[in-house]
Amino acid sequence: MYLTKEKKEEIFTKHGNGKNDTGSAEGQIALFTHRIAHLSEHLKSNRKDYNTERSLVRLVGKRRSLLDYLIKKDIMRYRAIVKELGLRK
């Protein structure tokens, strides 16, 4: 499995408010970014895997929704997470 419990805790510790704070927008965005990167690599070698492609599109949409939420709530948190993860609009 590509996403172990330890890896999740590491992501939430680094980007969230702690390893148990799985509900913060920053932590979820970081987790989605990790999963998107993994699925993108998978699709490079399995280009006809349409179920994975659909999952990837859904994840990108969820991440975009969370980023839009952060823009409305706190623009500084949005800018920090975008810079930290290297995302672009």
What residues does each domain of the chain span?
Answer: 5-85
- Structure token digits, residue 84: 């930290």
Give the pLDDT confidence of 6-39 residue by residue, as tens digits: 999 999 999 988 888 888 999 999 999 999 999 9
Identify the CATH class of 5-85: mainly alpha
Q: What six digits make up the tokens of 88?
A: 């672009």
pLDDT score of 18: 85
With a pLDDT cut of 70, the percent of the chain lying above it is: 99
| Residue whose tokens read 């510790």 | 13
47, 31 Cβ separation under 8 angstroms: no
Report pLDDT for 17. 87
Q: Which of 81, 88, 87 lies closest to 11 in space, CA to CA?
A: 81
pLDDT at residue 62 greater than cutoff 80: yes
